[in-house]
């Protein structure tokens, strides 16, 4: 098994979040993209404004690394129109994977039709353009019942509206990695949350994101059944070391 093909190598910090200048953050992004090319990771996950640069670097290197980006990140609370516009722009710039943050707060408020429509329209846009779509549900913001309900909702929308051959291209993803928890509780993928997601998202694949920092943790997630792992520690994981990154 080639663990690299499970790894979505990730860098999603703004310059402000990284406490660096805008130019310095561009260089960090360039280095992250180059690292993905050099190591042959499945995908480089970056912010939308970096997609065009990544496309050129990967094309120039004649690399098979694919490009993922995040939509309505990290809160997922903007309008459907915003999500669709941001996604279309990312498609135009060369993104292969679109990781949408579902409006999980609206879901918790019982706005089920809003969520169903969001999932339907955004998934349709991605699939119509031959892209992979992932729905970030932010497990740290949800209780077990809400994780079950949101996974089931996404699954039902996809199964009811798209072809069986397309299911493998619509993921349910655990986390943004940016959610602020209390008392230092995990803000990303935990074994418990991933097990619930796998049970309630099938036949849709699951991506574990946030908190996977070493080879053993990555292998545990793969053995559970996840198809992708989002991590800022991809190089460290492949080299068998322990990362100190939060994501």
Task: Show which residues are catalytic.
Answer: 99, 173, 207
Closest by CA position to 66, among listed 41, 32, 101: 41
Q: Residues 28, 46: contact at Cβ < 8 Å?
A: no
Q: Residues 143, 189: contact at Cβ < 8 Å?
A: no
Closest by CA position to 100, among listed 197, 176, 152: 176
With residue 149 as reference, give the H or E element that holds it.
Answer: helix 144-161
* Angstrom distance (rounded) from CA 211 to CA 221: 11
CA dihedral 51, 53, 56, 61 (to 10 degrees): -100
Q: Is 14 exposed, middle or buried (0-12, 13-18, 19+ CB in 10 A)?
A: exposed
* Angstrom distance (rounded) from CA 68 to CA 86: 13
Q: Residues 238, 4: contact at Cβ < 8 Å?
A: yes
Q: Residues 134, 173: contact at Cβ < 8 Å?
A: yes
Backbone region of residue 201 per phi and psi (left: phi > 0; alpha: psi in -120 to 50; beta: other values): alpha
């Amino acid at each position: 098994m080639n663990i690299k093909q499970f790894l979505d190598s990730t860098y999603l910090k703004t310059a402000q979040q990284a406490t660096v200048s805008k130019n310095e953050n561009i260089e960090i992004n360039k280095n992250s993209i180059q690292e993905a090319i050099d190591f042959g990771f499945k995908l480089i996950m970056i912010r939308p404004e970096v997609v065009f640069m990544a496309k050129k670097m990967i094309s120039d290197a004649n690399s098979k690394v694919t490009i993922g980006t995040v939509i309505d990140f990290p809160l997922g609370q903007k309008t459907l129109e915003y999500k669709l516009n941001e996604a279309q722009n990312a498609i135009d710039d060369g993104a292969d994977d679109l990781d949408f943050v579902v409006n999980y707060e609206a879901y918790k408020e019982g706005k089920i039709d809003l969520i169903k429509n969001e999932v339907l329209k955004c998934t349709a846009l991605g699939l119509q353009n031959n892209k992979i779509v992932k729905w970030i549900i932010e497990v740290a913001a949800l209780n077990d019942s809400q994780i079950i309900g949101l996974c089931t909702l996404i699954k039902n929308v996809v199964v009811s509206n798209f072809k069986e051959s397309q299911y493998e291209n619509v993921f349910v993803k655990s986390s943004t990695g940016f959610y602020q928890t209390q008392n230092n509780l995990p803000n990303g993928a935990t074994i418990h949350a991933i097990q619930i997601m796998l049970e309630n998202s099938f036949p849709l694949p699951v991506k574990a994101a946030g908190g996977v920092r070493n080879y053993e943790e990555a292998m545990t997630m793969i053995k559970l059944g996840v198809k992708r792992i989002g991590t800022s520690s991809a190089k460290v994981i492949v080299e068998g070391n322990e990362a100190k990154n939060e994501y």
